[in-house]
Structure 1
Amino acid sequence: MSPSDWIHTVLLAVLQGLTEFLPISSSAHLILPSQLFGWQDQGLAFDVGVHVGTLAAVVYYFRREVTQLSGAWLCSCRGSRSAEGDLAWLVLFATLPAILAGFMLNGLVDQFGRSILVIAATTLVFGVLLGWADSHRTERLSTSSLGLKDALLIGVAQAVALIPGTSRSGATITAALMLGYDRQTAARFSFLLSIPVILGAGTLKGLELYQAGDDAHWLAIALGTLVAGLSALACIHLFLKWLDRIGMRPFVIYRLVLGVLLLAVYFIWPEGVA
């Protein structure tokens, strides 16, 4: 690998780690470097590696909640019900729409959803929705109020985020805020929802990697995994720490600026698209 390849590996891993949990779309930011700058695709093994890194980060950060929810879920399977067990079931039920949408729409998304025009449109539309939801939030509900109906609605929003530019965390947080939940509940439930989704996506990509027999540069994969994990861990911590202070406005502004710039690239400067 050349020095530029190593730099690209680190930058893409940082992008994955930061944007997986910020409401600005990780898929869009990983697609754009190749679209705009002609960067070479890092390969399937790299995708698996950065997914492992971000999964490790969110599981480590929420290790107490994950341990409690897992234990309570097992107890609920034996008939012992608790608030933690109910929340674990809600996380699982809310994941179902994304699983179904992934099986049914994955080919369509790969074929039509990776263009700069689509990313620009979703970046703008869902940025406006996030801003509206945050500015009109009521914050009358918390985690204890979460029920099956609301969990499924948030899960449907997560499924919509299969479209690049939407943002999984942005869509789920937007839905939760619209339903009346406070910012911390919206963000924490979004992060808990990310665990089975990232695990599922990483598993599928791992199976694809095994079947393809990809001849990967494993040192670069290891570096990408580590960088993605560390950047994701820092991102989760700082996002939850600053959330009530800064709200969603900085991310909304970022999305609007990015969306307009992408439209300019597409319509005014098409030769800039690789």
Structure 2
Amino acid sequence: MNDLLAAALLGLIQGLTEFLPISSTAHLALAEKLLRLDPARYGLTFTVALHMGTLLAILLYYARVWVGLVADVLRGRFTLPLLLLVATVPAVVVALVFDDLIAGPLREPLSIAAALVVGSAVFLLAERMATDRRGEATRSDAAAIGVAQALALIPGMSRSGLTISTGLARGLRRDQATRLSFLLSTPAVFGAGLKTVLDARQASAVFDHPDALAVGFVVSFVSGIAAIAFLVRFLRGHSLAWFVPYRLALAALIVAAVAAGML
């Protein structure tokens, strides 16, 4: 496949699936296998570009919030920074302890299919528990979302899906749960990108197609902004259950592809 076309396709997949509750890791892992992409060409360095595109998307979409956060810190107010810290710690610990498991066995197609199914069940359960009766988010909400982020490291689960589900189950309004999910996931998205940068440096990874890097970055950024805007509006009046049929169909497709020897 042409380098620029492959870069655009992977950027689109990263941008859309990073924020929609359908699992970016699952889609990227499957795309790499189905498209038979050379890991040496589309490995760590290229992955950094994709992560930076989606990180920029969430930073710009919530730019006013981040400016307000800096202003609050300068005034000695640490409510949101503390929530960010509490929500980030569980994912960091799990990522450090179980990195080999997450990057190895749990990234296999059948494991991804199982996670897609389990995540779908979590969505449906959270929707049944949703009450929309809570006020502002608390540190215990952030801690619960942090645990969800840690579980979402399993390919196929979906960070946005699990964190929004957790917010709904704890009684947050839909708009609250969605906004909090994206804000609290920002350090995790940054951390994933930073880890990839460090891995790339350790492996002395080089991608000799800067034009493809640029295409992947731009497409992941633009599609990421679009995905955030869509999901924020969509979940104001719809449930996560709308994404369940797609996730289950994808899981079934993966199992069928494995059975047919395609994966």
TM-score range, shorter chain: over 0.9
- Structure 1 gaps, min length 5: none
Equivalent residue for 1:264, pick from 248, 256, 261: 256
Gaps of 5+ in 2: none
1:48-73, Cα deviation, whole Å (9 max, x unpaired)? 00111101110000000011112213
Contact 1:158–1:171 (CA<8 Å) still a contact in 2?
A: yes
Structure 1 stretches (4+) deviating beyond 6 angstroms?
none
Counterpart check, 1:244 vs 2:236? yes
The corresponding residue for 1:12 is: 10
Alpha-carbon distance in 2 for matches of 1:71, 1:197: 22
TM-score by length of 1: 0.90
Return closer, same or farther for 1:219/1:37 CA change in 2, 3 Å cut-off.
Answer: closer
Comparing 152-161 with 3-12, greater Cα deviation is found at 3-12
Give the counterpart of 2:164 among 162, 173, 180. Answer: 173
2:134 aligns with one of 141, 146, 154? 141
Q: Answer whether contact 2:4 2:211 (CA < 8 A) is retained.
A: no
Cα displacement (A) at 1:149: 1.6
How far, CA to CA, are the matches of 2:27 and 2:195 in structure 1? Answer: 21
Q: Distance in 2 between matches of 1:153 and 1:247?
A: 20
Question: Using the alignment, how far apart are the partners of 1:66 and 1:96 within structure 2?
Answer: 20
TM-score by length of 2: 0.94
Q: Structure 2 matches for 1:188-267, cutoff 5 A?
A: 188-216=179-207, 217-266=209-258
Match of 2:99 among 96, 101, 106: 106
Other structure's SS at 1:272 match: coil
Amino acid at match of 1:4: N
Distance 1:263 1:211 in 2: 35
Secondary structure of 1:113's match?
helix
Task: Judge which range, 163-172 or 66-75, deviates more.
Answer: 66-75
Please say if 1:115 is aligned against 2:108. yes
% identity of equivalent residues: 40
* Displacement of 1:212: 2.8
Distance 1:176 1:125 in 2: 18
Q: Secondary structure at the match of 1:159?
A: helix
Aligned-partner Cα distance in 2 for 1:107–1:39: 22
Tell me if the contact between 1:70 and 1:88 (Cα under 8 Å) persists in the aligned partners: no
- The CA deviation string for residues 13-37 of structure 1, in whole angstroms up to 9 with x for no partner, is 0000001111111111100122334
User: Which residue does 2:81 correspond to in 1?
Assistant: 88
Q: May I ask how many residue pairs the two structures share in their alignment?
A: 260
Q: Deviations over 1:69-127 (max 9, x none)?
A: 12213433xxxx4xxx3122111111000111111111111121111110000001111
Match of 2:75 in 1: 75
Provide the C-alpha distance between the structure 1 equivalents of 2:32 and 2:38, rounded to a whole number of angstroms. Answer: 6
Q: Does 1:52 align with 2:42?
A: no
Does structure 1 retain, via aligned residues, the 8 Å contact 2:124–2:240? yes
Tell me, in whole angstroms, the C-alpha distance in 2 between the residues paired with 1:128 and 1:252: 8
- The one-letter code of the counterpart of 2:254 is L
CA distance in 1, matches of 2:128, 2:86: 28
TM-superposed CA distance for 1:190, in Å, is: 0.9
Checking the alignment, whether the CA contact within 8 Å between 2:83 and 2:184 is kept in structure 1 is: no
Matched, 1:163 2:154: yes
Tell me the equivalent position of 1:184. Answer: 175
